[in-house]
Structure 1
Amino acid sequence: MVDQQKRIPKWLKIGAAIVALLIVVIGWKAYQTFLGPNITGDQKYVFIHTGDTYDKVLKKLEGQHIVKDIKSFDLVAKAMKYPTLVKPGRYKLTEGMSNRQLIGNLRGGYQEAVKFRFENIRLKENFAALLGKNFESDSTTFIHLLNNEKLANSYGFTKDNFFTMFIPNTYEIYWNTEPEKIIARFHEEYQRFWNADRKQKATALNLTPQEVSVLASIVKGEALHRDEMPAIAGLYLNRLRKGILLQADPTVIFANNDFTIRRVLNKHLTIDNPYNTYRFKGLPPGPIMLPSITSIDAVLNYKKHEYIYMCAKDDFSGYHNFAVTQAEHLVNARKFQQALDARNIKK
């Protein structure tokens, strides 16, 4: 045995050692290229747009410093046939991910859905801007859809009340979902929200779900405190039943398209606009803001009382003084006007 080892040439031993070393080096390099960490922590997501080519993806990964070594990424991507399998989407990045992990997600289309939540939205334009910020399509595309009469009609709405279809909640939607399908997703939630119980309560009020939401938007505009919403809803329902003008200040502000108004004056009341409930009887044609679930349920579960007047309290607590007679209301209104004057709030 010893004699055989002695007969192995030295050069062969050296060659074998070199080959073994090369195998180790190549193996280590392959491991690092495919499985070693190559993703930086500079970005939380990579956004692959519809129509992006592989070259655009490479430029994006390099330009945003998403990968440390773009050449190794390119090598693995081609080995995994990713250049012909580019899929749009919003893909989550984790610092230390390997090329193989990221490319596996990219080529498989394994993106992370957007958790889209909204509330306290005043105008369609505000909503369109928020949608454009969170999804691939821009705000111009979304505002066009929100103002599309034909689309609104297809869901059973008018162009004016279409905004009531969007129920504030948290939605999980893929970033590159087509805008029309995003609208359809909101309609699914609307149908779930308006269950048999809510529809029955709306019918008892002699209102459609859309009309309930329009009234709820006014209630939301008036109420600074949730616990007062049912009382405010009850007041407006009393006015509707009696055929009295709603005379809701938030509708006047909306009609004037001036949301800086803190004190509604006579000059604001003269505007010829169907949203001016000081001039036009009944509900306006659409919501003055996106109603909240709380305000909708406040209308459906309104507080029964005889009040038909209300005025903000002069302590600026955000609550209201309610009244049955105009004489009582005028006393409350005078107190509030004096409080406004004392604070030099003129407009």
Structure 2
Amino acid sequence: MWRNVASNAFSFLVVILFLLGGIIIWGQSTYKAEGPLENAICLQVKPGSNMRRVSQDLAEQGAVSSAAIFRMGADYEEKTSQLKAGSFLVEAGTSMSDIVETVTKGGASTCGTEVVYRIGVNRVSVQVRELDPVSNRFEERAEFVPGTDEVPEVYVETKAQADTRFRIALAEGVTSWQVVNAMQAMDVLEGEAGEVPAEGTLAPDSYEVRPGDGRASVLERMAAAQQARIAEAWEARDPDLPIESPEELLTLASIVEKETGVAAERRQVAAVFVNRLNQGMRLQTDPTVIYGITKGEGVLGRGLRRSELRAETPWNTYVINGLPPTPIANPGRASLMAAAQPDESEFIFFVADGTGGHAFAKTLAEHNENVARWRQIEAERAAAQSEETTSGSGN
């Protein structure tokens, strides 16, 4: 009798273990399988939250099929204690395993609201925008010019939120003075910036910052990034360039940067200047004249006068031979590579063509024809503008 009871008990235990094993396998499969979420969401994990609250939030939003399996999976992977606060983008169909990885790996928000401090050549602005997780596109909530516009309430509210991301976006062609001047007004940063970095030594890019970051440390990051780009371009340079050092390459790249905003033209523009250097011709480029006037401290805001084209400054390439003594702006990676690897061409002239780009020429006669066409375009535009002004002032 006892033998039968023991046999039955053993059989029952085997069945229980078999069922338990099946449940574990099913749970593991569910934990790693594609999730039920149909549209991407932005998951907010508040400071002080825990994995139970996160799992419940995910279940309510339809991102996980089981809050319990989500928590057990996180426990099994020993990641429960690694939960980070922030706003995290959860794509449609993301598995529980991948969601756990997202909310525990680094703590950097990947969605939600962000504040972008944009440092442009002609304008500094602050933009508050929010990522739409479905379209994966940012929607602007507010934009203002610091020191000029009234600070919107949404900026104050967003800045105070714990999961807000902050970025500084440097446009290609800004000067070091413009960067430092703009950063001094950013209330998210602390400390003094120190001396204005040498012209050209800051990399135009987007930099994520945190409230309380030091201005000097952010500038160091920008400088380190630019130094790496300069080294990369110098290493990849054409061997027959009339350039003797990385500093000269940086100077040439800054001139290319200021001469054209058309990406496809950068290597052509660089080729013109290289051809001129090889032939002993002066570069004769207006941006260097402007830099000699402003020293990079602000925008000239008007056309150049003939007297300024003739005035002697260290940067006026209508007067000096070769390259100016320093860069005239902070060039981006594309301009650095254009200066290092210019097109092979015989062009030694270029002028605006009315489309935002330039017309290139090999001879002075061709160049004069291009200049005449540009003057005609300028005259037609001025006449059209005058006509609009006259018609707009009538009764």
Q: TM-score range by the shorter chain?
A: 0.5 to 0.7
How far does residue 214 in structure 1 lie from its aligned partner after superposition?
1.8
Which one of 321, 341, 344 corresponds to residue 379 of structure 2?
341
Contact 1:214 1:283 in 2 (8 A): yes
Higher relative contact order (CA 8 A, sep 6+): 1
Structure number with bigger Rg: 1
Structure-1 separation of matches of 2:239 and 2:327: 19
How far does residue 236 in structure 1 lie from its aligned partner after superposition?
0.5
Return closer, same or farther for 1:134/1:219 CA change in 2, 3 Å cut-off: farther
Normalised by the length of structure 2, the TM-score is 0.50
* Residues 189-268 of structure 1: pairs in structure 2 closer than 5 A: 189-196=225-232, 198-201=234-237, 204-205=240-241, 206-257=243-294, 259-262=300-303, 264-268=304-308
Return closer, same or farther for 1:169/1:271 CA change in 2, 3 Å cut-off: same
Contact 1:256 1:271 in 2 (8 A): no
Partner of 1:270: 310
Structure-2 separation of matches of 1:197 and 1:343: 40
Partner of 2:35: none
Structure-1 separation of matches of 2:233 and 2:311: 38
Matched, 1:93 2:131: no
* Residues 1-347 of structure 1: pairs in structure 2 closer than 5 A: 92-93=161-162, 114-132=166-184, 133=186, 135-137=188-190, 141-142=192-193, 144-146=194-196, 162-196=198-232, 198-201=234-237, 204-205=240-241, 206-257=243-294, 259-262=300-303, 264-313=304-353, 316-344=354-382
Work out the number of aligned pairs and report it: 227
Contact 1:115 1:170 in 2 (8 A): yes
Structure-2 separation of matches of 1:254 and 1:65: 37
Structure-2 separation of matches of 1:283 and 1:145: 25
How far does residue 344 in structure 1 lie from its aligned partner after superposition?
3.5
How far does residue 229 in structure 1 lie from its aligned partner after superposition?
1.0
Q: Look up the SS of the partner of 2:264 in the other structure.
A: helix
Structure-2 separation of matches of 1:44 and 1:306: 47
Opposite residue 93 of structure 1, the aligned amino acid is A
How far does residue 113 in structure 1 lie from its aligned partner after superposition?
7.2
- CA deviations on 1:192-235 (whole Å, 9 max, x unpaired) are 32455642417652342222222122112221311111101100
Q: Look up the SS of the partner of 2:321 in the other structure.
A: coil
Contact 1:216 1:295 in 2 (8 A): yes
Structure-2 separation of matches of 1:129 and 1:171: 17
- CA deviations on 1:19-60 (whole Å, 9 max, x unpaired) are xxxxxxxxxxxxxxx99xxxxxxx999xxxxxxxxxxxxxxx
Unaligned segments of structure 1, at least 5 residues: 1-33, 36-42, 46-63, 67-89, 95-111, 148-161
Return closer, same or farther for 1:202/1:287 CA change in 2, 3 Å cut-off: farther
Structure-1 separation of matches of 2:156 and 2:362: 67
Structure-1 separation of matches of 2:234 and 2:212: 33
Partner of 1:74: none
Identity of aligned residues (%): 24
Structure-1 separation of matches of 2:366 and 2:114: 59
What RMSD over aligned residues (CA atoms) do the two structures have, in Å?
3.3
